[in-house]
Amino acid sequence: MNTQKGGFTLLELMFGVAIISLLTSIAIPVYRGQIEKTDNNNAITHIYAIQVCIERFYTENFSYPADIAQNANCLPNQGLDPWGNPYAYLNIIDGGPGIKGQVRKDKNLNPINTNYDLYSMGKNGVSKKQLDNKDRVDDIVLARDGAFVGLSSDF
């Protein structure tokens, strides 16, 4: 009579756990990367939509809005980016003489827009005026007066 019971040995179980751990260690960073990419793409889409709202305001009023709240009924996601921070807007062209020191600048300290700045502070929620600052690499910016919308690190 054979009394041997079927089952896994400790060594087989350890190999199974090791394989699952290895696959998990690969899958989790890939998943997080896809989430971040999706959030960035959502922010880019929101910025395009806000840009349309701002340009519509300009067409109707012959000036840009003083702040983004003047377009509150048109803002996607109540004006919040995918990370829960409000989109930042600065009216450059109608902002008065003191506004030039507040504009966003590229690595050569040239303003990236002439009419208005519009951007998301990105995942870290921190932003600086100059694009090559380490706190700015995850920001989603509108630059060249709308010709570029994307990560500031790509500008």
- CATH code: domain 11-154 is 3.30.700.10
Distance CA 22, CA 10 (A): 18
pLDDT of res. 134: 74
Residue 124 tokens read as 């870290």
pLDDT of res. 1: 55
CB 121 within 8 A of CB 127: yes
pLDDT of res. 43: 95
Helix, strand or coil for residue 128?
coil
Residue with tokens 């005026």: 129
State whether the Cα torsion 15-21-25-30 is positive or negative. positive
Regions of the chain short of the pLDDT cut 70:
1-4, 135
- Per-residue burial over 15-46, b = 16 or more CB atoms within 10 Å of its CB, e = otherwise: eeeeeeeeeeeeeeeeeeeeeeeebbebbbeb
- Per-residue burial over 122-153, b = 16 or more CB atoms within 10 Å of its CB, e = otherwise: bbeeebeeebeeeebebbbbbbeebeebbbbe
pLDDT of res. 3: 64
In DSSP terms, 130 is beta-bridged to: 105
DSSP string, 31-46: HHHHHHHHHHHHHHHH
pLDDT of res. 82: 95
pTM score, whole prediction: 0.81
Per domain, the residue ranges of the chain are 11-154
